[in-house]
Structure 1
Amino acid sequence: MADQTDTAARTDAPRATSNRSTTPHSDAFKEYISSNWAERTDVLPPAREEASFAADRRARLSAKYPGKRLVIPAGRLKQRSNDTDYPFRAHTSFSYLTGWGSDSEPGSVLVLEPHAGGGHEATLYFRERAGRDSDEFYANPEIGEFWIGPRPSLAQVAADLQLATLGIAELDRVIGSVDENTLVVRGADPELTTLIDAHVEAAVVEAEDEAALPTIAFSPAEGERDEVDESALLDQDLSEMRLVKDDYEIGQMRLAIDATRRGFDDIIADFPRITGHERGERLVEGVFNGRARADGNAVGYDTIAASGPHACILHWTRNDGPVVPGDLMLVDAGVELDSYYTADITRTLPVSGTFSPEQRMIYEAVREAADAAFAIVRPGIRFREVHATAMGVIARKTAEWGLLPVSAEEAVEPQNQQHRRYMVHGTSHHLGLDVHDCAKARRELYLDGVLEAGMVFTIEPGLYFQPDDLTVPESFRGIGVRIEDDIVVTATGAENLSVQIPRTADDVEAWIARSRP
Structure 2
Amino acid sequence: MFSKEIYTQRRRALKSKMDKGIGLFMGNREAPCNYNDNTYHFRQDSSFLYFFGLDEPDLAAVIDFDTGKEILFGDDVSLDAVVWTGPLPKMQEKAEKVGVVHTSPRNTLSGFIQKEQQKGRTIHFLPPYRSDNKIELMDMLGIHPKEQKEKASEQLIRAIVGLRMIKQPEEIAQLDKACDLGYAMHYTAMKMAKPGMVEQELAGIMEGIAISGGYTPSFPIILTQNGEVMHGHSHHQILEEGRLLLIDAGAELQSHYCSDFTRTLPVGGTFRGMALDLYNLVLQANNHCISMCAPGVSFKEVHLTAARIITEGLKDLGLMKGDTEEAVAAGAHAAFFPTGLGHNMGLDVHDMEDLGEQFVGYDHTVSRSTQFGLKSLRMARKLEAGNVMTVEPGFYVIPTLLELWKKDGHNAAFINFEKCKPLYKFGGIRIEDDLLVTKEGHRLLGSKRLPVTPEEIGEVMKG
Q: TM-score, normalised by structure 2?
A: 0.84
CA contact (8 A) 1:399 1:407 kept: no
SS in 2 for 1:374: helix
CA shift, 1:115, in A, is 4.4
Aligned to 1:209: none
* 1:314-393 correspondence runs (5 A): 314-393=230-309
Question: CA contact under 8 A between 2:344 and 2:351: conserved in structure 1?
Answer: yes
Which string of whole-angstrom CA distances, capped at 9 and with x for unpartnered residues, describes residues 52-107 of structure 1? 3322221121122223111101122223223332111111111111123xxx2212
Indicate which of 220, 228, 231 corresponds to 2:153. Answer: 231
Aligned twin of 2:23: 70
**Map 1:117-516 → 2, pairs under 5 A:** 120-131=68-79, 137=80, 144-164=81-101, 166=103, 167-171=105-109, 174-179=112-117, 180-187=121-128, 189-198=133-142, 218-219=143-144, 229=151, 231-272=153-194, 275-277=195-197, 280-307=198-225, 310-412=226-328, 414=329, 416-439=330-353, 440=356, 441-442=358-359, 443-444=362-363, 447-466=379-398, 470-472=418-420, 474=422, 477-497=425-445, 499-514=448-463
Alignment partner of 1:108 out of 59, 64, 69: 59
Sequence identity (%): 27
1:20-53 superposed Cα distances (whole Å, 9 cap, x missing partner): xxxxxxxxxxxxxxxxxxxxxxxxxxxx435333
Alpha carbons of structure 1 residues 494 and 53: separation in structure 2 relative to 1, 3 Å? same
- In the TM superposition, residue 271 of structure 1 has moved relative to its aligned partner by 2.7
Structure 2: distance between partners of 1:463 and 1:224: 34
The verdict on how the C-alpha distance between 1:80 and 1:321 changes in structure 2, with shifts beyond 3 A counting, is: same
- 2:224 match: secondary structure: strand
State the secondary structure of the residue aligned to 2:395. Answer: strand
> Is contact 1:154–1:165 with CA below 8 Å preserved after alignment?
no
Task: Assess, with a 3 A threshold, how the Cα gap between structure 1 residues 232 and 85 changes in structure 2: closer, same or farther.
Answer: farther
**For the residues of structure 2 that align with 1:311 and 1:448, how far apart are their CA atoms?**
25
Secondary structure in structure 2 of the residue aligned to 1:177: helix
Q: CA deviation at 1:349?
A: 1.2
Structure (1 or 2) with the larger CA radius of gyration: 1
AA matched with 1:126: G
Q: Deviations over 1:379-435 (max 9, x none)?
A: 1111211101111110100111111242323312x2x22222111001111111111
Cα distance, 1:335–1:448 mapped onto 2, change above 3 Å: closer
| 1:145 Cα offset (Å) | 3.3
SS of equivalent to 1:311:
coil
Deviation per CA, 1:215-245: give whole Å up to 9, x if none.
Answer: xxx44667998xxx46243234323432211
- The 2-side partners of 1:221 and 1:512 are apart by 50
Amino acid at match of 2:106: I
Report the 3-state secondary structure (helix = DSSP H, G, I; strand = E; otherwise coil) of the residue aligned with 1:312.
Answer: coil
Amino acid at match of 1:348: T
Whether contact under 8 Å (1:431, 1:458) holds in the other structure is yes
Shift of residue 459, structure 1, vs aligned partner: 0.4
Shift of 1:371: 1.0
Gaps of 5+ in 1: 1-47, 132-136, 138-143, 199-217
Q: Which letter does structure 2 place at the counterpart of 1:121?
A: K
C-alpha RMSD over aligned residues: 2.5
- CA, structure 1 residues 223+426, in 2 after alignment: closer, same or farther (shift >3 Å)? closer
User: What does the per-residue CA deviation read over 1:108-147, in whole Å, with 9 as the maximum and x for residues that have no partner?
Assistant: 001112444xxx122222222224xxxxx2xxxxxx2333
Paired AA for residue 70 in structure 2: A
> 2:127, 2:149 within 8 Å by CA — same for their partners in 1?
no
The aligned residue for residue 96 of structure 1 is 50
Decide which moves more: 399-408 or 389-398: 399-408
1:52 is matched with: 5
How far is the alpha carbon of 1:355 from its aligned partner? 1.4
Q: CA separation in 2, counterparts of 1:379 and 1:221? A: 38
Cα–Cα, structure 1 residues 108 and 334, in superposed 2: closer, same or farther, change >3 Å? same
In the TM superposition, residue 250 of structure 1 has moved relative to its aligned partner by: 1.2
Structure 1 position 374, deviation (Å) = 1.2
Give the AA of the match of 1:321: Q
Tell me how far apart the structure 2 counterparts of residues 244 and 223 of structure 1 sit (CA, whole Å).
27
Amino acid at match of 1:503: V
> 1:184/1:444 Cα in 2 relative to 1: closer, same or farther (>3 Å)?
closer
Whole-Å separation in 1 of the counterparts to 2:161 and 2:147: 26
- Do the aligned partners of residues 156 and 224 (structure 1) sit closer, same or farther apart at CA in structure 2, a change above 3 Å counting? closer
SS in 1 for 2:180: helix
Quote how far apart the aligned CAs of 1:185 are: 2.5
> Would you say the 8 A contact 1:186–1:193 is kept in 2?
no
Separation in structure 1 between the aligned mates of residue 445 and residue 149 of structure 2, nearest angstrom: 45
Aligned to 2:367: none
| Residues 218 and 259, structure 2, Cα contact 8 Å, conserved in 1 | yes
Worse overlay, 375-384 or 164-173: 164-173
Q: Separation in 1 of the partners of 2:147 and 2:190?
A: 54
Displacement, 1:462? Answer: 0.6
**Counterpart of 1:181 in structure 2: which amino acid?**
T
Letter in 2 for 1:106: P
Change (3 A) 1:150 1:301: farther
Superposition deviation, residue 305 in structure 1: 0.4
Shift in Å at residue 461 of structure 1? Answer: 0.3
Q: 1:448 to 1:467 in 2, by over 3 A?
A: closer
Q: Distance in 1 between matches of 2:19 and 2:287?
A: 45
TM-score w.r.t. structure 1 length? 0.76
C-alpha distance in 1 between matches for 2:161 and 2:172:
17
CA distance in 2, matches of 1:256, 1:510: 25
User: C-alpha displacement at 1:447, in angstroms?
Assistant: 3.7
Q: Kindly indicate whether structure 1 or structure 2 has the higher relative contact order, using CA contacts under 8 Å at least 6 residues apart.
A: 2
Alpha-carbon shift at residue 322 of structure 1 (Å): 1.6
